[in-house]
Amino acid sequence: MIGYLIRTITDIKQENTMSKKFEYKYKLFAKIHQLQKRLYRTEQNPGHSEDKVWFREMRIKKLLNKVRER
């Protein structure tokens, strides 16, 4: 009885997990989206973190290259 419950729980857990590849890509896309939101905020609010625009654009490019290489 207990073995059956444990097996059922592990089967449910395994069904809900993404493959490592897509989990990794999801994290990269989440970071890219966060940086894009910050860039948009800077465009809409002049003077807000203007010195960081170049760094964020370069970071987005690096993250996109990581997504493409896998």
**What integer pLDDT is reported at residue 14 of this predicted model?**
55
pLDDT of residue 50: 85
Q: At residue 17, what are phi and psi to the nearest 5 degrees?
A: -90, 140
Q: Does the global pTM surpass 0.75? A: no
pLDDT tens for residues 2-35?
666 667 666 655 555 667 777 888 899 999 999 9
Q: Cβ distance 35 to 56 under 8 Å?
A: yes
Reported as a single tens digit per residue, the pLDDT across 35-55 is: 999 999 999 988 878 889 999
pLDDT at residue 62, rounded to an integer: 94
Can you tell me the mean pLDDT for 50-66?
A: 93
Domain positions in the chain are 18-69
